[in-house]
Structure formats: C-alpha cells, structure tokens
C-alpha cells in the first residue's frame, strides 16, 4: 500500500467513526496445540512458514509506533496459542519498556512452566480460555486431554502475580450452558474473574447458528440466581472493555459477560489487530487487511508504518453484522487472525 504524501499525525488515533483506538492485539503465531471446534478444523490448518512470521523486533517496532505516536494504553499478545512460540518472555521484555499494560491470552497448557519467566520479564496479566470444567466436554470442545494442565496454569499465574487472571468461557447452547453456575463458582473459589462470551461465527466447523447463542442477559441471570450480583458501572470500572461486569454482593469478586452477538460493543471498540505475518486488521471480522510486513521488510520508516495504520483505522467500519443477512464470515479462522 502506498503511504500518503503528508506525514502521519500524533496524538490520539481516531477512527472514521470517531472512536479512539488505544488497544493493540499482536498475534505471534497461527499455530495452536488445541483444535477447538469453534476455531479450527480437527486436522489443523496449513501453518505459516517460520520466515513469514514477524520477528519479535518487528512486533516491538509496530508496538512502539502505536504507543509513542498515539499513546496506545494496552498491548495483548495472542496466537493461535502464543506460548507454542519459543522465547515469549523475550518479547515481553522488549515490550515492557513501552510502559503500557501488557497482557497475554492463552489456553493455559504451557502456563505452569512459563508463568514465572513471563512475570519476571514484565507481563502484567493473563487471560486463560476455559470452556468447561467437565473433562469429557473439555475434550469434546478442544480435542485435547489437557484440562488438568489448564487448571494448573491458572494456579501458576495466580502464584506469580499475573493478575487479575481472567478466564474466558465461550458459552454454547446444549454444549456447556449447563456449567454456567459451576464456572462462576470456580471463579469465586479461585479468585479469578470468569468472563462468559457469546458464541460467535468464527469458523464454519463450529456449526454456528443464532439458536446456539446463549444471550449474556440469560447467562448473568443464571449466575445471579445462585450468587446475587450488582452491575459495575463504567465509572466504577475506570476503563473500557467489551465485558459488562457484575460484582458479587458477598464480596467474592466479579463476573463478566461479553454480548458480542446480542448487544455488540462495536460503538465503543478501541482495538486493532496485527496478524502473525504482519497484516493489520481494524476488526476481528474485518474484510480488509493492510500489509505492515511489506513496509517493514522494504526498509520503510516509522512514518511509513504509521501512514498505513492511519489509512486502515480511518476505514474502520461501524461494526460487524453478525446475525444480519449481509454478514460475511472472515475468510480465515480465529487462530489465523489472532484473538
């Protein structure tokens, strides 16, 4: 893509809908050691060649442009499963001097071993994906027999202070919706915040249909019937995120719900994504990508990188169209896009 002749701006980065962009998602690999049914085929995907992945230096350079030029406030390291890539603490250590919140989303399998080094390198917190506490259902969903490792990973993250630890649970009607209270109880007992996520159409094999979506409102009503809650306002929260949050009235923490389908938060979306091979995406469901790797490897300047990012952000759409007749599913799986 050709950069405009005028130099990129500084100050807040504002998209074409007037939203400030301040959250950067960096995918570092498309590979994963799970085969979750809503994310990828059972046989996996054709992985990117190693040479096509952005190096840690390239990822850090993109992050630095976003933080230093536009005051981005948060960076999240994602995959695939990010911890299947070697030396992730090295990347964390490279990002830490930027002085922003650094988080990592993981399935938790490698956390028991990786958590201490990640914390020492400067990682602030982790989100762990966990869709079931039942071994049979867990294996059915992930096609892996690793529930014990995921639970150990959550404990390891708590032990080294990668807090607040958040547990992401995709709820599917007829699959794991019967575990909502059990998962909420798990969060209360472990001191982690469970965030229930509405089932989204991210991979055809996942069999998405509207009737398989459990609305966030129903999820929280189910939780509240067992453990009374009160809503946490945006003022109380002090930050913007997709999850609506509730506080347990007995003081045992918080629970969240992400109503991506029934009540999309697109109107206040503040995030953008870079795929493992350097494609810039303004939305998880975006149809357009912008090639940052080409700029990096052609000797482009930081201004050149910033110009491409500004062009992409200016074109960001009002929001996805899940459930509408004109919705178009992304051409790539979640693992290839980055969580």
Q: What is the CATH number of the domain that holds 34?
A: 3.20.20.70
- Whether 260 maps to a domain, the answer reads yes
pLDDT of residue 262: 80
- Whether 1 maps to a domain, the answer reads no
- Domains: count for the chain: 1
Tell me the three state secondary structure of residue 317.
coil
pLDDT of residue 173: 94
| Angle, CA of 80, 100 and 90, to the nearest 5° | 50
Q: Which residues contact 256 (CB under 8 A, 6 or more apart)?
A: 166, 193, 194, 195, 196, 243, 244, 245, 246
Domain interval for residue 138: 13-337
**Alpha-carbon span 12 to 325, nearest angstrom:** 35
Whole-prediction pTM: 0.89
- Whether 2 maps to a domain, the answer reads no
Mean pLDDT score of the chain, rounded to an integer?
A: 88
pLDDT of residue 1: 41
> Which alpha helices (H) appear in the chain, and where do they start and end?
56-70, 88-95, 111-121, 135-142, 147-159, 180-190, 216-226, 234-237, 292-297, 302-314, 334-337
pLDDT of residue 42: 73
- Whether 6 maps to a domain, the answer reads no
Residue 281 near residue 274, CB atoms below 8 Å: yes
What is the rounded end-to-end Cα distance, in angstroms, of the chain?
25
- Whether 4 maps to a domain, the answer reads no
- Tell me the pLDDT tens digit for each residue of 309-335: 999 999 887 655 455 545 455 655 555
**Alpha-carbon span 287 to 285, nearest angstrom:** 7
pLDDT of residue 186: 98
- Whether 313 maps to a domain, the answer reads yes
- Whether 116 maps to a domain, the answer reads yes
- Whether 221 maps to a domain, the answer reads yes
- Name residues of the chain where pLDDT drops below 70: 1-9, 44, 201-208, 234-242, 264, 266-267, 285-286, 318-339
């Amino acid at each position: 893509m050709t950069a405009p002749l005028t130099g990129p701006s500084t100050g807040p980065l504002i998209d074409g809908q007037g939203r400030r962009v301040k959250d950067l998602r960096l995918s570092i690999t498309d590979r994963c050691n799970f085969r979750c049914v809503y994310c990828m085929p059972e046989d996996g995907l054709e992985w990117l060649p190693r040479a096509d992945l952005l190096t840690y230096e390239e990822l850090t350079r993109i992050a630095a442009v976003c933080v230093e030029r536009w005051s981005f406030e948060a960076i999240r390291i994602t995959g695939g499963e990010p911890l299947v890539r070697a030396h992730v603490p090295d990347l964390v250590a490279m990002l830490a001097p930027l002085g922003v919140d650094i988080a990592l989303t993981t399935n938790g399998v490698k956390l028991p071993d990786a958590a201490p080094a990640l914390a020492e390198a400067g990682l602030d917190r982790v989100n762990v994906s966990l869709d079931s506490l039942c071994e049979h259902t867990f294996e059915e969903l992930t096609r892996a027999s690793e529930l014990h490792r995921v639970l150990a990973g959550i404990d390891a993250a708590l032990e080294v202070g990668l807090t607040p630890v958040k547990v992401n649970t995709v709820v599917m009607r007829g699959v794991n919706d019967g575990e909502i209270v059990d998962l909420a109880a798990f969060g209360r007992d472990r001191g982690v915040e469970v965030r229930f996520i509405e089932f989204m159409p991210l991979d055809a094999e996942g069999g998405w249909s509207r009737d398989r979506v459990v609305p966030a409102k129903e999820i929280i009503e189910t939780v509240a019937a067992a453990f009374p809650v009160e809503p946490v306002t945006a003022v109380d929260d002090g930050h913007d995120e997709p999850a609506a949050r509730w506080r347990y009235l007995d003081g045992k923490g918080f629970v969240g719900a992400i109503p991506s389908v029934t009540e999309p938060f697109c109107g206040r979306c503040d995030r953008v994504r870079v795929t493992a091979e350097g494609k810039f995406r303004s939305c998880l469901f975006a149809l357009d990508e912008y090639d940052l790797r080409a700029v990096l490897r052609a000797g482009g300047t930081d201004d050149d990188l910033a110009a491409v990012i500004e062009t992409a952000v200016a074109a960001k759409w009002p929001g996805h169209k899940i459930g509408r007749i004109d919705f178009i599913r992304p051409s790539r799986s979640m693992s290839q896009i980055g969580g």
